[in-house]
Amino acid sequence: MSLFWIVIRQLAEIEAMATSKKVITREEWEKKLNDVKIRKEDMNKLVMNFLVTEGYVEAAEKFRMESGTEPDIDLATITDRMAVKKAVQCGNVEDAIEKVNDLNPEILDTNPQLFFHLQQQRLIELIRNGKVEEALEFAQEELAPRGEENQTFLEELERTVALLAFEDVSNCPVGDLLDISQRLKTASEVNAAILTSQSHEKDPKLPSLLKMLIWAQNQLDEKAAYPRINNLSTAALEDPAV
Amino acid sequence: MPTTTTTAATTGSNILHRLTSADRDVKLKALRELKNQIIGNRTKKLSFLKLGAVPTVASILSDAVSTDAVVDNNNDNINKNIIVQSAAVLGSFACGFEAGVKAVLDAGAFPKLSRLLSYHDEKVVDAGARSLKMIYQSKLAPKYDFLLEKNMEFLLSLLNNENENVSGLGASIISHSCKTSVEQKLLSDAGVLRKLTSLLGGSLSQRDASLESLATIFKSNPEVVVKFVGNESERALSCIIDLVKDRFARTRLLASLCLIIVRNTSPCYLQDLAIKTKLINTLLELLGDPGQVGDEASFAFSSLIAQKEDMQKLAFEVNAIDKLYNHLKGGSLHPLRFEGILLALADMCSKLECCRSRFLSLQVLNLVIDALAHDSSDVRIAACICLRSVSRSIKNLSAGSFMNETVVIPLVRLLDDSSTSVQVSALGAISNIVVDFTTRRSLFIRCGGVKQLVQLSKSMDSTIRSNALWALRNLMFLAENKCKEGIFLELTASLLASLICDPEPIVQEQALALVRNLVDGCISSVEYMFAEDGIIFDAVGRQLRSASKAEIGIQGMYVLSNVATGKESHKEAVMNQLLPTENRTQPYLINFLQSNDSRLRTATVWAVVNLTCSSSPGASVRVVKLRDAGIVSQIKNMVNDPCLDVKLRVRTALGQLMTFEDSST
């Protein structure tokens, strides 16, 4: 948060100084940046937050030992969460459901949308594996009652069952359901629900900070020419085009 | 699909069979399987419930708890696991499923689950607390008696527990069981508010549970609210205000609800414009939530703005009508959400004309009319309430915006509804829309509306009778003669007379008010009073003599006032009614003039004014009679009546009386 406000304050200063577009040289810019103080502990916490949220449990453990940064969550729970996520990503949805229920039975009992999406993913996997009979039976027995309860679910169910109607599923209008991205989508939904149940944010903070950086730069572009960061992975300052 | 059902049933009884196995591994595996089958799946919960799974699992839990106590073997992992899994199964049966809660309670599982709270094993405690929490979400859960000292101690120990499920359970118990102001005060005095405030800083589930309990303890209890907001600390309240901006939708809703309850309980708090706007905006935004939060948001919004013109104004300025409409427009809404949005619109349009104009210009009306035919009776009721609220607009009533077939036909149809509450709310809407448009009343009559209303005025249910009469009364208001005649023929003098003498005072009042409108206007309508040997007129007189409440006197006196505007014979009939010659006791006229209710005094003086109008030949004789009965001197005493209305009529009456005084002396 603090980094964001520093940028904002600088923006305000610049706005006060210049009415027309001002040019700031790399030298001036770097001097300004040097005046900004970032605490090391804050950086470490951001890194830890990223590792924990993304589920890099071993890296988090190592990082904890090396940097002395305490994670805000029991690292053991990350392992469980990652196992669930991985199971969905591999298409073992039933296994994932069992694991979530072991972790906390309230999650799926109080989150009908997530429960439906997991069941839908199960159906998709059955269809993918060519188990037509079983897929039909599963759709009728497990999914149809959910569709009766909720209009949106019914539409999604119809879309999914439509997969059975096509000979060449890879080339049909609902083929995207068989895509790996569908698994990833479901996996990230489960991941988010587990994190929420653990009172943890479902997104890491680092990407938000970078988003704010880009937004602030865009705002600044209207007022000044300055060394901009265009490549986020190198974070290199690029000379202003004058 | 016979095959499917067979498979499902076979799997079901197979699991049940294995639950009773002597082999503990088999039993444990079956428990887990059952758990994974029913979690999130209402249909499965129901089918296993029917197979009798709940008592079986309850007895497994019971046995495992006893084994644990006897063996006292902390290393018996299988047994621990059986306890955890069976508690989770029972918890899931109780989750969002009332029949399940009932079965779990009937199977005697409640005390067993409670025992799990004192275990050392964290997993066992978690499972027990979660399941109990589920049970306490239901109305069926046993009431917790806070008045018992040991119960209060136990509750505090739950709230103080480090385990979030256990402290959350404590909060759920409060939300479920705290009902009376005595209990609220007891909890507040025991330091529960402070404890709950500290939970606001805890985990997501602790925060939500605590917000709910705080709201329960505050509700309609200004003393507790003052203690919390005034003495305890400003900080606690600002902590709740912060949670209105929380990341989680449910938390935002619960925090808003808590603040709304504080506001509605003690109107002196949270009057800051920023907070008011924040609450309105938050709730309008939460309407967009696809889940339960979105369903509940509109009800919370209603409780924030209901009866509060300033709040309705603020909401109007942030386009609340448009936003509510946008959610309606989407179509295929869950009935609960549909109902909530309609009621929110009703509250928005209950006072302010600007809201009603916006409502009508957006064509929301069409959607509301569709809702009149919705499958759910709650939605139909909400649509009627909404219609009633919008049709308070005099401007649009006069323009005939509501008196057209698209509105009237479905409304009249609802008069036949199987639900009494729907009938009553339809009558409420009709009462408003039939007011004040002389040209279009015939449409209502053509649609069979009058027949229906007359039919309902004979209902066994007094609420329906009085509401039907109310609608007829408004239909009669300033109606042209032909219209009145039509209604009167349908009603008949004898039915009207019997309704005036109805056992229920609210019915009597409406019947008299109807007659008042019937005889209002031209002289020929006064004749209705004397149809069938004057049974209506006699009934009015009877009610006036025994008027059980001021409202009946008021309506009755206006009836007589209106009759007294008629011919000499009409005026004489009123005189005989007011001052019967054979009766020597103090006339009720005096009592009415001395009433505490200024409306009754006004109505009574009106009658005297109409009787003593100097242009009519018999007036001087009537003045003498009135003077002899002590009425004139009573009116003279009223020249300085505190009510302006009364004072004005008294001056008019005295002015007329004086002309006769002068001529007689």
Contact B660, B623 (CB under 8 A): yes
| CB pair distance less than 8 Å for B36 and A101 | yes
Grade residue B443 by pLDDT with cuts at 50, 70 and 90: confident
Residues of chain A contacting B290 with CB distance shorter than 8 Å: 113, 152
Report the half-sphere exposure of B174 (CA within 13 A, side-chain side). 35
pLDDT-derived band at B447, boundaries 50, 70, 90: confident
Mean pLDDT of B43-64: 95
Mean of the pLDDT values across residues B392-421? Answer: 88
Q: What is the DSSP string of A162-204?
A: GGGG-SSGGGSTTGGGGSHHHHHHHHHHHHHHHHHHTT--SS-
Mean pLDDT of A189-194: 93
CB-CB under 8 Å, B43 with A105: no
Return d(Cα B322, Cα A136) in angstroms, integer.
43
Write out the DSSP string of A42-79.
HHHHHHHHHHHHHT-HHHHHHHHHHH-PPPSS-HHHHH
For the record, the structure tokens of B496 come out as 């009207």
Chain A residues touching residue B334 (CB < 8 angstroms): 150
Choose from A106, A194, A201 for mutation: most chain B CBs within 10 A: A106
Across chain B, mean pLDDT equals: 90
Q: Which of A32-36, A178-182, B581-585 has the lowest mean pLDDT?
A: B581-585
Give residue B665's pLDDT band: very low, low, confident or very high (50, 70, 90).
Answer: very low
> What is the C-alpha to C-alpha distance for residues B372 and B415, in angstroms, rounded to an integer?
11
Residue in the block written with tokens 């002396």: B665
B517 within 8 A of B476, measured Cβ to Cβ: yes
Q: What is the pLDDT of residue B232?
A: 52
| Structure token pair of residue B210 | 């605590």
Q: Is residue B248 within 8 angstroms of chain A, CB to CB?
A: yes
Average pLDDT for B574-600: 85
pLDDT confidence tier of residue B19, bands split at 50, 70 and 90: very high
**pLDDT beyond 50 at B307:** yes
Contact A115 B41 (CB under 8 A): yes
Cβ–Cβ under 8 Å, residues B144 and B183 = no
Confidence of residue B171 (pLDDT cuts 50, 70, 90): very high
| Per-residue pLDDT tens over the stretch B323-381 | 999 999 877 788 999 999 999 999 999 999 999 999 999 989 999 999 999 999 999 99
Query: Cβ of B88 and A197 within 8 Å?
Result: no
- Nearest chain B Cα distance for residue A158, angstroms: 17
SS3 B363: coil
**Chain A touched by B7 (CB under 8 Å):** yes
Chain B residue closest in CA terms to A111: B40
Which pLDDT does position B1 carry in this prediction? 38
Q: Is the pLDDT of residue A46 over 50?
A: yes
Q: At what angle do helices B493-500 and B531-545 cross, to 10 degrees?
A: 10
pLDDT of A3 strictly over 90: no
Cβ of A145 and B92 within 8 Å? no
C-alpha to C-alpha distance for B548 and A21, rounded to whole angstroms: 83
Q: What is the pLDDT of residue A21?
A: 78
Please tell me the predicted confidence (pLDDT) of residue B351. Answer: 94
- Residues in Cβ contact with B7 at an 8 Å cutoff, skipping those fewer than 6 apart: A137, A141
Place of tokens 């527990």: B161
Average pLDDT estimate for A58-79: 90
Among all residues of chain A, which has the CA nearest to that of B47?
Answer: A141
What is the per-residue pLDDT for A169? Answer: 74
B1 near A CB under 8 A: yes
The answer, yes or no, to whether residue B5 has pLDDT greater than 50, is no
Residue in this structure with the two tokens 């007294």, named with its chain if needed: B564
Inter-chain touch B42–A101, beta carbons under 8 Å: no
**Beta partners for A225?**
A23
Tens digit of pLDDT for each residue in B308-322? 999 999 999 999 999
- In which band, very low, low, confident or very high, does the pLDDT at B511 lie, cut at 50, 70 and 90? very high
When mean pLDDT is compared across B347-356, B613-622, B641-650, the lowest value belongs to B613-622
Query: Given CB atoms, is B203 within the 8 Å cutoff of chain A?
Result: yes
Asked if the Cβ–Cβ distance from B8 to A141 is below 8 Å, we say yes
Percent of chain B residues past pLDDT 70, beyond the cut = 95
Most confident of A5-9, A55-59, B399-403, B512-516: B512-516
Q: Is B137 on the interface with A (CB under 8 A)?
A: no
- Distance from the Cα of B346 to chain A's closest Cα (Å) equals 26
Residue B171 CB neighbour total at 10 angstroms: 29
Band (pLDDT 50/70/90 cuts) for residue B402 is confident
Instruction: Kindly tell me if the per-residue pLDDT of B139 is higher than 90.
Output: yes
Chain-chain contact of A113 with B203 (C-beta, under 8 angstroms): no
Q: What percent of chain B has pLDDT over 90?
A: 71
Asked if A105 and B130 come within 8 Å (Cβ–Cβ), the reply is: yes
Tally the residues of chain B.
665
Rg (C-alpha) for chain B, rounded Å, is 33
Which residues from A are below 8 Å from B130, CB to CB? 104-106
Length of chain A as a residue count:
242
Residues of A with CB under 8 A from a CB of B: 97-98, 101, 104-106, 108-113, 115, 137, 140-142, 145, 149-152, 196-199, 201
B40 with A115: Cβ contact below 8 A: yes
Q: How far is A237 from chain B (nearest CA, A)?
A: 34
Strands, E assignment, B292-414: none
Q: Hey, is B515 helix, strand or coil?
A: helix
Residue A74, min C-alpha distance to chain B (Å): 14
Burial class (CB in 10 A: 0-12, 13-18, 19+), B218: buried
Q: What is the mean pLDDT of residues B543-572?
A: 91
* Contact residues, chain B, for A80 at CB < 8 Å: none
In chain B, residues with a C-beta closer than 8 Å to the C-beta of A150 are 334
Query: Which of A166-180, B203-217, B568-582 has the weakest average pLDDT?
Result: A166-180
In this complex, the residue of B7, B36, B247 whose CB is nearest that of residue A98 is B36
Q: How many CA atoms lie within 13 A of A51 on its CB side?
A: 22
- The mean per-residue pLDDT over the stretch A1-27 comes to 71
pLDDT score at A174: 84
Instruction: Decide: B526 and B565 in contact? Cβ < 8 Å.
Output: yes
CA distance A109 to chain B (A): 4
Is the pLDDT at A10 greater than 80, yes or no? Answer: no
- Global pTM reads 0.82
- In this prediction, residue B438 has a pLDDT band, given cuts at 50, 70 and 90, of low
Q: Residue A101 and residue B39: Cβ atoms within 8 Å? A: yes
Confidence class for position B2, pLDDT limits 50, 70, 90: very low
Cα distance between residue A76 and residue A81, in whole Å: 9
B634-642 long-range contacts (CB < 8 A, ≥24 apart) are B634/B590, B634/B593, B634/B594, B635/B593, B635/B605, B635/B608, B638/B593, B638/B601, B638/B605, B641/B598, B641/B601, B642/B598
Chain B residues touching A99 at Cβ < 8 A:
none
Q: Is the pLDDT of residue B612 over 60?
A: yes
Which B positions 11-50 lie with beta carbon below 8 A of chain A?
32, 35-36, 39-43
Residues of A in contact with B163 (CB under 8 A): none
Q: With DSSP H G I counted as helix, E B as strand and the rest as coil, what are the percentages for chain B, rounded to 5?
A: 75, 0, 25
- CB distance B32–A98 less than 8 Å? yes
Region of residue B307 (left: phi > 0; alpha: psi -120 to 50; beta: else)? left
What is the Cα–Cα distance from A215 to A233, expressed in whole angstroms?
A: 17
Tell me whether residues B3 and A108 touch, CB distance under 8 A: no
Give chain B positions within 8 Å (CB) of A151. Answer: 332
Q: Worst-scoring range by mean pLDDT, A65-74, B245-254, B382-391?
A: A65-74
